[in-house]
C-alpha cells in the first residue's frame, strides 16, 4: 500500500479510499444493490489487511446503516487511531427550514447522529455533502469550527461543489479565523473529466486534496464493452448520470479495454492507475472482496505519457450530471435526492 499526506493536514491516508456507499440495509435508502452487514465486515477486514486506512461514508447512505456497519467493523477489526474516517452531512431539508432549525443547529444534530451511528468520539474528515442554497455558508463553517475546537472533528472537507464555492467558503473561513475545507470530493473519472477545467487547478495551487467519487463510473470503467452487472442493471441513479453520453463514453471505455488487454491487467487497474496520476486518494466502492483486491493492484501500474494520452484523447465535453447538475439556485425549492430519502437522522 502507498500512503499520502492529505492536503494541508497531518492525516496520512492510503492512496485508495474505501467508499462505503455500497454498504447498508438494501431495504432502506436510495439503492437496492447494497450489501448486508456480514458482507460489509468481510470487505472492510480485507481492506484493512491490505493496508487501506481511509474509509468514506455518509449519514444519508442507506438511511444511516452504512455508518453503522462501518463503525461496528472498525471497532472489531482495527484500532480507532489507526484509521481515517470520513463521513458527510446534508444540507437542511425543507422540513428543517420550516421548523426554523438553523444551519449551526443542523450541523450539530447531524454530527451527533453520525458519531452515534459510528460509535466513535470523533470524525477525522467531516464533509459538507452538497452546497446548500438556502443557508449562508457562514452558519455551517462556524458550527464546524466549533466542533473542531470541541475535538469532535479533526478536519473538514466539501463535496459536489464548484471551484468558486470552495474558494468563497475558504475566504470567509480565513476572514473569521475558522478552519478551512482541506479536501474536495467531486465526480471525476475517465469518462467525466469536467473537474479539469477549474477545480483541479484550484486544488493544486492551494494544496487541497482531491478524493473523487465514482472512480470507476459505477462499474462502467471496469467492464468490457457489452458486459453488464447487477449494479449496472439496477443503479438507476448512475444511469441518469451516464446513459445520455453512452456512445461517447464507449470510445474511452474501448481504449481502457484495449490497453488492459495489452498489459494483461484488468480494466479496473488501468482506470484507477490513470486517476491516481491526477488525485490524492480516489474513493473506490466495493461490494465484493475482489473489488478491493483489484483496486489495490492499480498501485502497481505505471502508465506512460503515451498511455495517458491514448486514454484521454477520445473524451468529449460532458454536461454536469447527478448532484452537480442540481447545484443551482433551483435547489432552493427542489430537494436533492439524498435529502428526499430522509430517515437518516436517528
Active-site choice (3, 61, 126, 315): 61
Sorted by sequence, the CB contacts under 8 Å of residue 109 that are 6+ apart come out as 101, 345
Note whether 206 and 163 are within 8 A (CB). Answer: no
| Alpha-carbon torsion (155, 161, 166, 172), positive or negative | negative
Residue with cell 474511452: 252
Question: Is 61 considered catalytic here?
Answer: yes
Cα–Cα dist 130/159, whole Å: 6
Q: Which of 158, 82, 156 is nearest to 123 (CA)?
A: 156
With H, G, I as helix, E, B as strand and everything else as coil, classify residue 149.
Answer: helix
**Full DSSP string of 115-138:** HHHHT-S-EEEEEE-S--TTS-HH
Sorted by sequence, the CB contacts under 8 Å of residue 30 that are 6+ apart come out as 60, 62, 237, 337, 338, 341
DSSP β-ladder status, 3-5 and 181-185: unpaired
CA atoms within 13 A on the CB side of 144: 28
Cα–Cα dist 332/133, whole Å: 5
Catalytic residues: 61
Amino acid at each position: 500500500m502507498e500512503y499520502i499526506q492529505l492536503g494541508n493536514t497531518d492525516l496520512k491516508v492510503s492512496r485508495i479510499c474505501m467508499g462505503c456507499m455500497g454498504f447498508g440495509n438494501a431495504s432502506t435508502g436510495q439503492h437496492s444493490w447494497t450489501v448486508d452487514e456480514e458482507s460489509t465486515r468481510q470487505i472492510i477486514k480485507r481492506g484493512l489487511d491490505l493496508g487501506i486506512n481511509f474509509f468514506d461514508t455518509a449519514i444519508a447512505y442507506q438511511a444511516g446503516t452504512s455508518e453503522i456497519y462501518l463503525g461496528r467493523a472498525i471497532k472489531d477489526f482495527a484500532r480507532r487511531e489507526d484509521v481515517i474516517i470520513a463521513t458527510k452531512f446534508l444540507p437542511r431539508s425543507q422540513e428543517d427550514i420550516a421548523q426554523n432549525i438553523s444551519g449551526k443547529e443542523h450541523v450539530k444534530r447531524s454530527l451527533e447522529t453520525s458519531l452515534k451511528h459510528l460509535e466513535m468520539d470523533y470524525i477525522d474528515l467531516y464533509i459538507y455533502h452538497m452546497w446548500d442554497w438556502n443557508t449562508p455558508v457562514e452558519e455551517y463553517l462556524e458550527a464546524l469550527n466549533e466542533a473542531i475546537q470541541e475535538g469532535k472533528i479533526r478536519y473538514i472537507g466539501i463535496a459536489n461543489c464548484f471551484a468558486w464555492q470552495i474558494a468563497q467558503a475558504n475566504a470567509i473561513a480565513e476572514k473569521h479565523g475558522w478552519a478551512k475545507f482541506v479536501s474536495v470530493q467531486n465526480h471525476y473519472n475517465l469518462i467525466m473529466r469536467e473537474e479539469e477545467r477549474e477545480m483541479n487547478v484550484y486544488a493544486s495551487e492551494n494544496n487541497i486534496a482531491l478524493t473523487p467519487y465514482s472512480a470507476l463510473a459505477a462499474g462502467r470503467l471496469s467492464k468490457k464493452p457489452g458486459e453488464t452487472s447487477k449494479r449496472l442493471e439496477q443503479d438507476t441513479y448512475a444511469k441518469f448520470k451516464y446513459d445520455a453520453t453512452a456512445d461517447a463514453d464507449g470510445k474511452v471505455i474501448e481504449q481502457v479495454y484495449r490497453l488492459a488487454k495489452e498489459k494483461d491487467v484488468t480494466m479496473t487497474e488501468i482506470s484507477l492507475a490513470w486517476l491516481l496520476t491526477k488525485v490524492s486518494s480516489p474513493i473506490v466502492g466495493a461490494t465484493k472482496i475482489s473489488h478491493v483486491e483489484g483496486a489495490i493492484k492499480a498501485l502497481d501500474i505505471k502508465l506512460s505519457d503515451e498511455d495517458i494520452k491514448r486514454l484521454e484523447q477520445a473524451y468529449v465535453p460532458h454536461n454536469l450530471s447527478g448532484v452537480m447538475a442540481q447545484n443551482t439556485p433551483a435547489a432552493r425549492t427542489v430537494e436533492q435526492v439524498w435529502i428526499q430519502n430522509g430517515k437518516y437522522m436517528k
